[in-house]
Amino acid sequence: METTCAYCGWRKVEIQEGHRKRQYCSDGCKQAAYRQRKSKEKFSQRRQTEQQAIAELRKRWPDFSWTTWFFLQTVCRPLGESFMEQAAKIINDERMQAMLKATQIFQSPLQDEGQL
């Protein structure tokens, strides 16, 4: 009986009756498949850590956008948590300033009326 290699998909693999099923045509394919599986695991682990970090940032700064959380978790790894906190603080201050300004613009006509 024959089947195709689970890695390269084109070379035939002989299956002998009574033996454990062989999935790959060669050791090379077997190793390549193993490496591929490992790097996929690593990738999904990294994704998970990323999502956890974003969830934490979401709790601390619920008003930020996803882009900002993503940016913060990206800088957090190479630059450290204190740098990240500083960046978050600056972003927050900028937001507060902008909101304050917006409120002032909104309120100024009323203040003018009061002065008249």
User: What residues make contact with Zn ion under the rule CB under 5 A?
Assistant: 5, 7-8, 11, 25, 29
Taking the least distance from each CB to Zn ion, the nearer of 6 and 91 is: 6
Name which of 5 and 53 has its Cβ closer to Zn ion: 5
CB of 13 to Zn ion, least distance (A): 8
Task: Work out how close the CB of 26 gets to Zn ion at its nearest, in angstroms, rounded to a whole number.
Answer: 6
Nearer to Zn ion, 5 or 76 (CB): 5
Spatial separation of the C-alpha atoms in residues 96 and 53, rounded to whole Å: 24
Alpha-carbon distance of 38 to 35, in angstroms, equals: 5
CB of 25 to Zn ion, least distance (A): 4
29 vs 84 by CB, closer to Zn ion = 29
Instruction: Tell the smallest beta-carbon distance from residue 19 to Zn ion (Å).
Output: 18
